[in-house]
Amino acid sequence: MSDEEPEMKEPGRLDRISDTLGTLGSIASAVKGLAEVGVSLYQKGQELGFIGKKETTSSESETTSNVRKTTSSEFDKYYALGKVSYDTEDYEGAIESFTKAIESTEAGADDYDLINAHYCRGRAFFFKESYDMAIEDFKMCVVLSKGELERPYYMLALSFIEKGNYAVAIKNLTKAIEIEGSASYYDLRVRIYDKVISDYTEAIRVNPNDVEAYCNRGNAYNEKGDCDKAIADYESALRIDPNHSDAQEALDDLKRKKEASFTFTDPRDGKVYKAVKIGDQVWMAENLNFDCKGSKCYGNDPKNAEKYGRLYDRETAKKACPSGWHLPSEKEWDELVNFAGEGTAGKKLKAKSGWSKNGNGTNEYGFSALPGGIGDSDGSFDNVGYNGYWWSASEYNSSYAYIRSMKYSGDRASWSLISKHGLFSVRCVQD
């Protein structure tokens, strides 16, 4: 165990780009091909949602000018012309102008400008129904942003929907959700699964002995969260082909997870929590969200508590769990981590989405760890979306106690020795 303070995140340039993206409002869509999958999004005449030019402070400008060339006035001119053409639905003109903007960018110029230009040109190609060309631009955005922005992945998903490649569309949409879990993204993914289910249902109607159709429809139901229908499809596949290993493996895994999971109600406030049996232990499958003195919502925002639970000071954490549950000891945390595998426990225990910079896990046991961040006694907060920290009942001395931590950047679930003045998440284990 190490005596260390939690690692603090320092937002970089791409974090600021992502913040800018988040303020742009709705993406325009709903063109011809999307109707085929029943997707009802926004009308093409609404705001495009350009990334826009980056605003910098004078100190930031001084810093970046020492290490990075600026784009030319030619870029600004053609970029502006491209926006005008796009707004008037002159997509050919927009493509021409954005192409000239890209070509005029100096070597070593800020990637932000190139992301902007490729993204906007990709949008023009998309509405021109040149989906292959749009895909190339959105892929370039992914490369330039190092995969840290959700909008290019979202547009890739829409482009592949139009091409009828739903599997790749789901893959890209899932990437967008992992970076920024917008409700509209989740809704679109469900609608794609519905389309896939409809297609395989028709295939089964035509050929009731199509074992792969049953397996694939079962996979879609499974991803959508409809476990009973998924189990029924896997069982149908096995009746047709008792030796189908993929169907058997999927069925066994789904039944195991279903049998291990349940819900319970905290009688103090009526909140319903998910719980899961992992090895010989039963853990809450989400962070505690009991409102009491000595606890806070991250950033004092109740919406954060709904997702991540509340953050608790040391003394409150020791008595915050509901009756029949308790704050896990060092030994109990060790048992969980050893069961999952010490070197990869964090990867296996982290949720499949909700961790920044693609730091999600496999959620192999349904523990669904989320990065709730930390709070300090001075009222400050940090690291939400990046790192998660959970109290243990074990103490080092009167000033320090042990916590478990998981980080977006690693696969481990590590011990840290930390001052008792901090506020951290609580995950309860059954008595």
| pLDDT at 109 (0 to 100) | 53
The contacts of residue 210 (CB under 8 Å, 6+ apart) are 203, 204
Angle at 90 between CA 85 and CA 96, to 5 degrees: 70
Q: Which of these three, 215, 234, 260, is where a domain ends?
A: 260
| pLDDT at 110 (0 to 100) | 61
Is 383 inside any structural domain? yes
Separation between Cα atoms, residue 116 and residue 109, nearest integer Å: 12
Q: Chain-wide mean pLDDT for the chain?
A: 82
Residue-wise pLDDT for 58-89, tens only, equals: 333 332 233 234 446 888 899 999 999 999 99
Separation between Cα atoms, residue 70 and residue 295, nearest integer Å: 47
Q: What is the mean pLDDT of residues 315-325?
A: 96
Q: What are the helix and strand counts (H, E) for the chain?
A: 16, 13
DSSP per-residue codes, 212-223: HHHHHHHHHHHH
Q: Are residues 222 and 308 in the same domain?
A: no
Q: Are residues 20 and 68 in the same domain?
A: yes
Residue-wise pLDDT for 83-115, tens only, equals: 999 999 999 999 999 999 999 876 545 678 889
Residue-number span of the structural domain to which 319 is assigned:
266-430
Q: Are residues 102 and 226 in the same domain?
A: no
Q: Which band of pLDDT confidence, cut at 50, 70 and 90, is reported for residue 32?
A: very low
Is 202 inside any structural domain? no
| pLDDT at 107 (0 to 100) | 53
Q: Are residues 183 and 329 in the same domain?
A: no
Is 299 inside any structural domain? yes
Separation between Cα atoms, residue 326 and residue 336, nearest integer Å: 15
| pLDDT at 179 (0 to 100) | 81
Q: Are residues 180 and 220 in the same domain?
A: no
Structure tokens at 422: 């901090």
Q: Are residues 243 and 273 in the same domain?
A: no
Residue-wise pLDDT for 160-217, tens only, equals: 999 988 889 998 998 888 787 677 888 888 888 998 899 999 999 999 999 999 999 9
Q: Which of these three, 239, 260, 281, is where a domain ends?
A: 260
Is 3 inside any structural domain? no
| pLDDT at 85 (0 to 100) | 93
Q: Are residues 217 and 302 in the same domain?
A: no
Q: Are residues 284 and 241 in the same domain?
A: no
Please say if the pLDDT value at position 154 is more than 70: yes
Is 9 inside any structural domain? no
Q: Which band of pLDDT confidence, cut at 50, 70 and 90, is reported for residue 157?
A: very high
- Provide the CATH number for the domain around residue 222: 1.25.40.10
Q: Are residues 332 and 253 in the same domain?
A: no
**What is the count of structural domains for the chain?**
3
One-letter amino acid identity for 273?
A: Y
Residue-wise pLDDT for 357-388, tens only, equals: 878 999 999 999 999 999 998 899 999 999 99
How remote is the C-alpha of 321 from its chain's centroid? 28
Structure tokens at 114: 């190139």
Please say if the pLDDT value at position 276 is more than 70: yes
The contacts of residue 430 (CB under 8 Å, 6+ apart) are 275, 281, 282, 283, 324, 325
Is 230 inside any structural domain? yes
Q: Are residues 359 and 395 in the same domain?
A: yes
DSSP per-residue codes, 84-116: HHHHTT-HHHHHHHHHHHHHHPPTTB-HHHHHH
Q: Are residues 256 and 271 in the same domain?
A: no
DSSP per-residue codes, 27-89: PP---GGGGGGT-----TTS------PPP--HHHHHHHHTTSBPPPHHHHHHHHHHHHHHHTT
Q: Which band of pLDDT confidence, cut at 50, 70 and 90, is reported for residue 223?
A: confident
SS3 14: helix
Q: Which of these three, 260, 275, 305, is where a domain ends?
A: 260
Is 92 inside any structural domain? yes
Is 10 inside any structural domain? no
Percent of the chain beyond pLDDT 70? 82
Q: Are residues 160 and 69 in the same domain?
A: yes
